[in-house]
Amino acid sequence: MDRLRDAKQALFGQPNPEGRPRDSDEAALRWIGSEADNDSARVGMARLKGEKPPKPRSVRGLAREAVKRFGLLENAEERLRKKFSGTVAQKWIDFASLHDDIPEQIEHNALERIQKILDIQGITMKLDYIENWPKE
């Protein structure tokens, strides 16, 4: 039973009473996918230029960087590495390389309109806070 529990925790995170993961790894996995895609692009560009291609970072290395960047617990490294494997890894890489920002831009435009309406009423609203944004 311990193996099953560990597998469920690795796949779905620690569930809260409502059944959803308490700590989502989505932002970190998106970042790992984006960085893996960037590494692949650097290798391809170097080959096109006839230069020696740089060695892409391993999934373990990217998971280690993500733990530091997103301020996750150290034991999250192995969890991220397991989640970013096989065909699931390709999902995150595709998401990073093929994603467009149209839904986010529509949402931002709506928030700007709300901000202007609130400003007329004398209520300030900031649009510069993004939850789960990596720490620089």
35: in domain: yes
Query: Is 123 a member of any domain?
Result: no
- Dihedral in degrees, nearest 10, Cα atoms 121, 122, 125, 126: 140
Report which DSSP code applies to 51.
S
Q: What is the pLDDT of residue 13?
A: 63
Say what the pTM is. Answer: 0.59
Rounded to 10 degrees, what is the CA torsion of 109, 113, 115, 119?
150
Residue 68: other Cβ atoms inside 10 A: 12
How many domains is the chain built from?
1
Show Cβ contacts of residue 46 under 8 Å, excluding neighbours closer than 6 positions: 52, 53, 54
Q: How far apart are CA 95 and CA 91, in angstroms?
A: 6
Domain contains 107: no
Q: Has residue 34 been placed in a domain?
A: yes
Question: Can you give the residue range of the structural domain that contains 58?
Answer: 2-99
Position 111 in a domain? no
Per-residue pLDDT of the chain (136 residues; tens, 9 = 90+): 567 666 666 666 655 445 545 557 888 998 999 999 999 999 999 999 999 999 999 999 999 999 999 888 888 899 999 988 877 888 888 887 777 777 777 888 888 899 899 999 998 888 775 555 555 5
> Residue 82 domain-assigned?
yes
- Tokens encoding 59: 């999934």
Is 108 contained in some domain? Answer: no
